[in-house]
C-alpha cells in the first residue's frame, strides 16, 4: 500500500470515528446536551486541562533528555521537546502508534545522537512508563476493587486482557533489554525472512549493521545496572507522566460541576480505561477508546453529560496532540525553509523506509 493511501486511511479512521460518535449523539438526542456541556467548561478548566497535557509531553521530553545527558550527549532541551511532540503526533496518526518512535529517533539523530543511543533513550522512557502503568493499575485496582467491578461490570475480561498484555509486554521488553543475544536472534530471523522475500538487499551487510547497533543499544541500557538512582528517576518521571495524563478526566469532571466522586476514583477508572483500550491497532486507538470510556464512565457522568465529557476528554488527551504537532512541525518547517506539507511528506516517506540511508547519516 502506498504511503499516501495509508495516510488517507489513517485520517479517515480518525475523522470517521469522531463522525460516528456525533451521529450516535444525534440519534439519541444527546448531541445538544453534549454541546451544552462543552460550552459550560470555563476557561479556567480549559487552561488547566491543556497545561496538564502539555506537562505530560514535557515530562516525556525530560525522561529522554535526562537519559541523553547521563550518557554524555548535550542536546538542546527545546530540540528534545520537539522530538517528543513529533513522537506524540505521529504515534496518534499511525496504526498501533507505529510511527512515533521512529520519528523521534530520526529527530534526535539530527542532533548528532547515535541511532542506537536514541533508541535506548526512548525504550527506557517507554519501559518505565509501562512499568508504572502496571504498578499503578494493580494498586488502584486492589484499593478500589468494588468500585471498579461496579463500573466495569460483565466486561471485566477486557480489563484483564489489557492488564495481562501490558505486563507481558513489560516482561518481554526487560528480557530483550537484558539479552543482546535474544535481540540478535530476532534480527537474524527477520533478515532471513526479508531476504527470502527480497525485501532486504545485501542481507549480510544489513545484519552486521543492525547487530552493531544492538551492541551500542545494549551497552547504553546496561549503564543503568550501575546507576540505580538514574533508573529510579526514570520511574519517577514515568509515574508523574501517568498522573498528568490520567488527571485530565478529573479536571473535566470538576469543570462540568460534578463532585460526587473522588479524584482517586476518577483516576482509577481512567487508568483502567487506558490499559483496556490503548493497544487497539487503530490510529490513536480510535473507536476502542471511545467505546471503553462510554462503558467505564457510564455510572460516573450523568446521561446528559456523558457524551460531552467523552468529547472533552478525547480532545484534551488526543486531538490536542494533533493540533500541537501540526503547529510544531509547521514552525520546524518554516525555520528550515520547508512547508508543513513538505516536512510531513518527508517524514512519512522516512517512516516507510524511503530515506533510511539518509537518516543513518550523521
pLDDT tens by residue, 121-154: 888 888 889 899 999 999 999 999 999 999 887 7
Q: Range with the lowest mean pLDDT among 68-72, 81-85, 150-154, 265-269?
A: 150-154
- Would you state the pLDDT for residue 83? 92
Q: Range with the lowest mean pLDDT among 200-209, 342-351, 352-361?
A: 352-361
- Would you state the pLDDT for residue 268? 96
- Would you state the pLDDT for residue 233? 94
Quote the cell numbers at residue 50. 491543556
228-255 residue pLDDT tens: 888 899 999 999 999 999 999 999 999 9
- Would you state the pLDDT for residue 168? 85
For residues 337-342, give the mean pLDDT: 55
Asked whether the CA dihedral 296, 299, 300, 304 is positive or negative, the reply is positive
- Would you state the pLDDT for residue 175? 72
- Would you state the pLDDT for residue 44? 93
Q: Which residues contact 225 (CB under 8 A, 6 or more apart)?
A: none
Q: Residue 360 pLDDT more than 70?
A: no
Nearest to 238, CA basis, from 70, 139, 87, 124: 124
Sorting pLDDT into bands at 50, 70 and 90, what band is 193?
A: confident
Amino acid at each position: 500500500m502506498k504511503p499516501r493511501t495509508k495516510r488517507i486511511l489513517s485520517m479517515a479512521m480518525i475523522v470517521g470515528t469522531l463522525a460516528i460518535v456525533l451521529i450516535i449523539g444525534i440519534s439519541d438526542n444527546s448531541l445538544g446536551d453534549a454541546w451544552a456541556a462543552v460550552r459550560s467548561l470555563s476557561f479556567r478548566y480549559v487552561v488547566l486541562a491543556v497545561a496538564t497535557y502539555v506537562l505530560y509531553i514535557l515530562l516525556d521530553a525530560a525522561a529522554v533528555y535526562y537519559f541523553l545527558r547521563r550518557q554524555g550527549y548535550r542536546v538542546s532541551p527545546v530540540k528534545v521537546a520537539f522530538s517528543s511532540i513529533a513522537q506524540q503526533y505521529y504515534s496518534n496518526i499511525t496504526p498501533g502508534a507505529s510511527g512515533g518512535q521512529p520519528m523521534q529517533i530520526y529527530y534526535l539523530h539530527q542532533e548528532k545522537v547515535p541511532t542506537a543511543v536514541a533508541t535506548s533513550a526512548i525504550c527506557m522512557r517507554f519501559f518505565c512508563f509501562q512499568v508504572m502503568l502496571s504498578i499503578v493499575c494493580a494498586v488502584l485496582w486492589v484499593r478500589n476493587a468494588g468500585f471498579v467491578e461496579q463500573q466495569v461490570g460483565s466486561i471485566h475480561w477486557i480489563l484483564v486482557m489489557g492488564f495481562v498484555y501490558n505486563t507481558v509486554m513489560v516482561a518481554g521488553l526487560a528480557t530483550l533489554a537484558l539479552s543482546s543475544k535474544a535481540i540478535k536472534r530476532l534480527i537474524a530471523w527477520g533478515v532471513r525472512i526479508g531476504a527470502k522475500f527480497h525485501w532486504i538487499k545485501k542481507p549480510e551487510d544489513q545484519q552486521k549493521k543492525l547487530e552493531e547497533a544492538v551492541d551500542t543499544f545494549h551497552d547504553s541500557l546496561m549503564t543503568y545496572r550501575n546507576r540505580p538512582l538514574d533508573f529510579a528517576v526514570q520511574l519517577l518521571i514515568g509515574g508523574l507522566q501517568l498522573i498528568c495524563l490520567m488527571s485530565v478526566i478529573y479536571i473535566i469532571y470538576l469543570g462540568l460541576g460534578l463532585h460526587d466522586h473522588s479524584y482517586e476514583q476518577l483516576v482509577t477508572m481512567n487508568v483502567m480505561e487506558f490499559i483496556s483500550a490503548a493497544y487497539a491497532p487503530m490510529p490513536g486507538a480510535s473507536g476502542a477508546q471511545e467505546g471503553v470510556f462510554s462503558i467505564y464512565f457510564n455510572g460516573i457522568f450523568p446521561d446528559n453529560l456523558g457524551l460531552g465529557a467523552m468529547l472533552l476528554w478525547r480532545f484534551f488527551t488526543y486531538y490536542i496532540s494533533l493540533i500541537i504537532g501540526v503547529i510544531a512541525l509547521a514552525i520546524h518547517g518554516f525555520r528550515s525553509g520547508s512547508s508543513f506539507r513538505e516536512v510531513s511528506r518527508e517524514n512519512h516517506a522516512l517512516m516507510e523506509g524511503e530515506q533510511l540511508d539518509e537518516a543513518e547519516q550523521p
